[in-house]
Amino acid sequence: MRMAASDPDPEFVEMEMEVVVPTEREPWHELLLRHRRALVMGAILGALVGEIAVNLLPASYEASGRLLIVPVEDPTASVGGSAFEAANATLPVVVAVLRSRRVADATVDALRLDEAWKLTPDDARKRLVDRLAIATDRKANLLTLSFEDRVPSRARKIVGAVAERATALSKDLWAQRNREHRQTLERELDTVSMSLSAAQDEFRAFREKNHVVDLASQIKATVEQAAALERLRIDKTLDLRFARAFGDHGAVEVQRGEKERAAASSELEILKHGGLGAEGPLLPFDQIPRLEAEHARLKRAVDEQEARHELLALKVSQLVAAEARPGGIAEVIDPPVDPRVPTGPSMGKLVMAGTAVGALFAALCVALFARRRELALDHNVMH
């Protein structure tokens, strides 16, 4: 049987299929292992670049200072927690204050760090917060502040300014928790003082109008005097009755008895209702119940206002004392000084970083060249 001219040769087809198969890609780890010399050379070059950078970059200096959270005990408190526990609780508050925006902005404005660093105020604040290192020791209640800058004196000033402002702000925040309550009580105390003054004025006017000095003593004296006058009036009435029984109306004894009884009755009426001759310490006898009730009402009003005033004044004084007595006070025990030995740039860090970057760059170059070679081979095979 004759094969058609257009049919392909099976052997040729098989050969062509074998030719167009692309080459197998080499694994990455084997590729890097085979070019390890290039990686080593890249790491060495990177380390050299890092060492050169150490000599070219400007030196930086680190200033540091230490703050101690001093526990403050309350000698007036009978019970309560330990002062050291209160100081330990104050430690995170001081750390938060040190990293606060208020402290950073105040430090930037005071030292004009934006002009010194040639940055905007916001960027200067961020740089200050980012570079400020804070180390805490809870057992000893210690805080260590560190800041690194190219100018030694500026680094010292920054640490000192941050510590000073943080100490003042922490005290203010501690006092703030009682300040609003104290101000509310002070406003209420002013209102009670006005009410007390009005009650005292009303009570004083009542006593001046009714000639009250000591109500209990005056009531006792008035009752005794009224009883004595009533007894005298009865006695004079009996004497007059006896005189009339033994003499006529014109007798001297009868006329004297009538006058004596009339005088006793007149004095008794004056004592009962008040009038001329009643300006002494004795009170109108028939007004005693009213005066006693009015006196008790006014005295009770004054006593209530005085009790409220005394209680509010005591609470205000306690809050004032609490504002001035925090649980712990941050005090600088080691002020910062001008650093003399530069702390940066670190040769070890730059050399290690250069080594890593150089090795990574060499690995990328090896990978790119290998990939390009594979693509070229595949392209040649296809054509």
Taking only the tens place, the pLDDT of each residue in 54-113 is: 566 677 888 999 988 876 655 444 444 455 555 666 778 888 888 889 999 999 999 999
Q: Domain range spanning residue 102?
A: 61-178+323-334
Cβ atoms 38, 129 nearer than 8 A: no
Scored b (16 or more CB within 10 A) or e, 74-101 reads eeeeeeeeeeeebbbebbebbbebbebe
Whether 117 and 145 map to the same domain: the answer is yes
Is 290 in the same domain as 327? no
Look at residue 109 in the predicted model and tell me its pLDDT.
93
Total of domains in the chain: 3
| pLDDT, the chain, mean | 78
**pLDDT at residue 150 greater than cutoff 80:** yes
CA distance 282 to 341: 95
Beta-carbon-side half-sphere exposure of residue 128 (alpha carbons within 13 Å): 33
**Residues 129 and 199 reside in one and the same domain:** no
Q: What is the pLDDT of residues 269-278, one digit of tens each?
A: 877 776 544 5
State the number of CA atoms in the 13 A half-sphere of 135 facing the CB: 8
Over its C-alpha atoms, the chain yields an Rg (Å, rounded) of 52
Beta strands in the chain (DSSP E): 61-71, 133-137, 142-149, 328-334
Residues 266, 295: one domain? yes
Q: What is the pLDDT of residues 232-244, one digit of tens each?
A: 888 878 877 777 7
Same structural domain for residues 289 and 270? yes
- CA dist., res. 296 & res. 290, Å (int): 10
Give residue 183's pLDDT.
85
Residue bearing the bigger pLDDT, 195 or 343? 195
* Of the candidates 120, 118, 125, the residue with the CA atom closest to the CA atom of residue 103: 125
Nearest to 325 by CA among 87, 85, 68, 93: 87
Q: Which residue has the higher pLDDT, 123 or 31?
A: 123
Q: Which CATH number is 152's domain given?
A: 3.30.1890
Residues 162 and 104 in one domain: yes
Whether residues 215 and 239 fall in one domain: yes
45 and 110 part of one domain: no
Here the tokens at position 203 are: 């009570």
The residue count for the chain:
383
Task: Please check whether residue 65 is in contact with residue 336, taking contact to mean a CB–CB distance below 8 angstroms.
Answer: yes
Supply the pLDDT for residue 287.
80
**Residue 21 reports pLDDT greater than 60:** no
> Does some domain include residue 110?
yes
CA distance 382 to 97: 70
Q: 219 and 118 share a domain?
A: no
Please confirm whether the linkage preceding 345 is cis (ω < 30° from 0).
yes
CA dihedral 319, 323, 328, 331 (to 10 degrees): -160
Percentage of the chain lying above the pLDDT 70 cut: 77
pTM (2 decimals)? 0.50
Q: Tell me if 160 is assigned to some domain.
A: yes
Encoded tokens for 65:
């200072």
